[in-house]
Chains A and B, each alone.
Chain A
């Protein structure tokens, strides 16, 4: 049976749901080995958080170089383990860090790379939604090992209990990979809301908010949702740029996307049209985003949202 190598994804010292998702995709291809990279002394603590997903084996490498030299050091370790294991595929989570690691590993190992897969078949065919989700593409790597990054929240995770064999190993971080040094690091400011690209529900505001996101935020909080914004809203300085959904911002595909006061230019649709269910609230009945709506309300978001927020709270209470 073929092997599949995944780079376990961590937030702090804890393996994430995305690890389970890429393990689930990997198990369709072969036996999954998860690589855990941890600071010295933290290897078993990190590995012990891998409790779910179809994972047969966990390989642990301890080194402080991973925190000090980030992407480059991680790519060194992943490429070395990959060369030893000779897997059919290497799967990494498709965030900024994961994609950069995968890119470096592709160069090191003369392998092709596919990013932002939303699905993977047993023969390593990857499905991607390109051009803002308007086109479905199936691709295969044609040289070397298939290196594929998988977008969070797209593969349905198999939360089967995992009790993998844990082994320690080592890797050498090259001098070239030590040239950039991380001198300080801070976790993202969470503000109590889920991360935009990983959230099950996203509530976004646009030009129609006139800069007042309070109603959007309250509705988001009632649903346990992340808050997004259109480019018009971030360009106007109404909401932080890191929350921009769209062509030049984040791409999201949550279970539910609620667009409030967003007209729906291609720029915005490109970032959200693969959402499973779309709700649109806009005063303008001609807003193009209504074309994508499963449920649309022509009305004032400042009237609809507060009452809906109370309605959701009443139901949850």
Chain B
């Protein structure tokens, strides 16, 4: 049985850039935007799963579809994931979604997932801007699908419609399995994401990104259910003492720790 895999991806401010709040929201307009680092692992994992079972391009019957919510500009990040080898993409983009929270995001993504009749949905564990790590669990709850998140290893048996993962969190290591359809999130370093090839970049230009508006999702409201009361940059830390080691630095360090009652 060919597999239909969806990968949720997000365009985020470059994780190396300084981020600022404007009017209670992250200023996304004035920073470089990139494909969320952690989503690259999700795209790579989807490609590896289909490649191990007949492929998704050049005659392979599996498909990998990207699903994203964001401004129209998010097509740049989506093109990168397409150039890695995904087949096509859906972008839900609408001015009413500016300032959407994780709940709205999860409901919007869930609506596109249901409509697409997918077997597996793969996400990164979090976006590097909001860093909540809740959207995959929310999508699972919304759809009533099995949740297999924080995977450091994913195995599929398409013939039996079965998927199993190794979940790695602070709480330990779990082996979890489920039948399709299921929601997976993968941790950083589960794989080494491929660089798009020249052929992949050229092919991605011709791949279809279907843009949908909010009304098409059937989600009731785009209103966020939490509000920012105020936001302010933290004051810079008071300047400390910096000494150059002349052989006594280790003793001075110990003295500093004693003075601060840290020993």
Contact = CB atoms under 8 A, between A and B. Distances in A.
Interface string B220-259: 0001111111111110010011111100011111101110
B217 interface: no
Given A104-B140, A267-B15, A295-B241, A111 B176 contact: no
Contacts of A248: 15, 37-38, 128, 188
Q: How large is the interface on B (under 10, 10 to 19, 20 to 34, 35 or more residues)?
A: 35 or more
Interface stretch (A22-30, A205-213, A286-294): A286-294
Contact of B101 (A112, A234, A256, A279): A112
B256 A75 contact: no
B206 interface: no
Contact of A195 (B125, B150, B170, B240): B170
A291 B236 CA distance: 9
Interface of A, helix, strand, loop or mixed by DSSP = mixed
Task: Choose among B21, B128, B226 the residue with the greatest number of A CB atoms under 10 Å from its CB.
Answer: B226
B179 interface: yes
Interface in B1-47: 15-21, 26, 37-38
A311 B102 CA distance: 49
Contact of A141 (B145, B175, B182, B225): B225
Nearest to A175: B144
Contact of A188 (B171, B176, B229, B242): B171
Task: Choose among A70, A101, A107 the residue with the greatest number of B CB atoms under 10 Å from its CB.
Answer: A107
Given A142-B227, A285-B244, A296-B240, A107 B142 contact: yes
Contact of A136 (B134, B169, B231): B231
Interface string B50-91: 000000000000000000000000000000000000000000
Contacts of A312: 254, 257, 263
A125 B226 CA distance: 10
A296 B140 contact: no
A287 B145 CA distance: 48
A169 interface: no
Contact of B103 (A112, A137, A296): A112
Interface in B167-191: 168-179, 182, 188-189
A107 B141 contact: yes
B148 interface: yes
A255 interface: yes
B106 interface: yes
A139 B135 contact: no
Contact of B226 (A132, A142, A195): A142
Interface stretch (A42-50, A81-89, A113-121): A113-121
B159 interface: no
A298 B257 contact: no
Contact of B133 (A99, A135, A181): A99
A21 B17 CA distance: 33
Contacts of B19: 130-132, 134-135
Contacts of B225: 106, 111-113, 141-144
B233 A135 contact: yes
B138 A103 contact: yes
A241 interface: yes
A104 B137 CA distance: 6
Interface in A291-317: 291-300, 303-308, 311-312, 315-316
A135 B20 contact: yes
Interface of B: 15-21, 26, 37-38, 101-103, 106, 125, 128, 131-138, 140-142, 144-150, 164, 168-179, 182, 188-189, 223-234, 237, 240-245, 249-254, 256-258, 260, 262-263
Interface of A: 11, 70-72, 75, 95-97, 99-104, 106-108, 111-116, 125, 129-144, 176, 179-188, 195, 197, 201, 223, 234, 241-242, 247-249, 251, 255-256, 265-267, 270, 273, 277-281, 285, 290-300, 303-308, 311-312, 315-316
Given A113-B103, A294-B240, 15 more contacts: A100-B136, A103-B135, A108-B141, A111-B225, A131-B18, A140-B227, A141-B225, A142-B225, A179-B144, A181-B177, A188-B172, A297-B249, A299-B244, A304-B253, A307-B250
8 contacts: A96-B169, A135-B20, A176-B145, A181-B177, A184-B174, A279-B256, A296-B243, A298-B245
